[in-house]
Amino acid sequence: MEAKTKLKNIFFDFDGVIAESVSAKTDAFKEMYAKHGLKIVKEVEDYHVNNGGVSRFEKFKYWEKTFFGKEISDKKVQEMAKEFSGLVLNKVINSEEVKGANYFIKKYSKLLNFWIITGTPTNEIEIITKERKINIFFIGIHGSPENKKFWTEFLLKKHNLERNETLFLGDATTDLDAAVFSKLHFALRDNEENKDLFKNYKGLRFNNFVELEEKLKHNFIL
């Protein structure tokens, strides 16, 4: 029988993993493009759901180029991101937790090393986690403009972490891509938004943190 790996470090995505906030962001993107008609709104929704971990900066650039043939300036991207933040910040702060997330984070932060890696801008996710009173449980909270592959490698090297002792919890293809890129363990958080994207995924998966806790005890030394 193969020996279990000791788990020491967890990288958490935020939206759809710690908080049920994916739909809040979907609604905000749709609201921003509503004036352009239902066809574009549907395309915005589909692209956002299928590219959940991509930063809003990259999404705005993609949509403006795809829909209107415009290469927008960094200044314009920042303006759009600011408008989006105004629409979504309080919704995310007040969104429901993924079942058991706060319990799990508070309990295991005493035993494991925790970081957040998200597509949300760093300054914004810092506000969100502070308002939700969970920031103190994480060694670091990291977001865009750097992408998730940047952060996984940065944190592994900065903190001299063993890849085989590190788990990424995510719900988006960018999360899985970062875990594969950095040779980490990965656990997929299942939800309504990603069920089609991951219908062929055969690895570790969970719906809530009660379920995750049991699976980690079974698969790792926890």
222 has a pLDDT exceeding 90: no
Query: Cis ω on the peptide bond leading into residue 121 (within 30° of 0)?
Result: no
For tokens 């925790």, name the residue. Answer: 114
How confident is the model over 2-40, as pLDDT tens digits? Answer: 568 899 999 999 999 999 998 899 999 999 999 999 999
Range 107-111 average pLDDT: 96
**195 has a pLDDT exceeding 50:** yes
pLDDT tens digits along 134-161: 999 999 999 999 999 999 999 999 999 9
Binned at pLDDT 50, 70 and 90, residue 84 comes out as very high
Q: How far apart are CA 145 and CA 123, in angstroms?
A: 10
At residue 5, the 3 state secondary structure works out as strand
Q: Pick the closest to residue 59 from 94, 93, 33 (CA basis).
A: 33
Q: Indicate the residue type of 218.
A: H
Which residue type is seen at 168? F
**Statement: the pTM of the whole predicted model exceeds 0.85:** yes
What is the structure's pLDDT at 193?
Answer: 85
Q: Is residue 214 within 8 Å of residue 222, measured between CB atoms?
A: no
| Mean pLDDT value of segment 80-88 | 94
Helix (H, G, I), strand (E, B) or coil at 3: coil
Short-list 102, 112, 118, CA closest to 210:
102
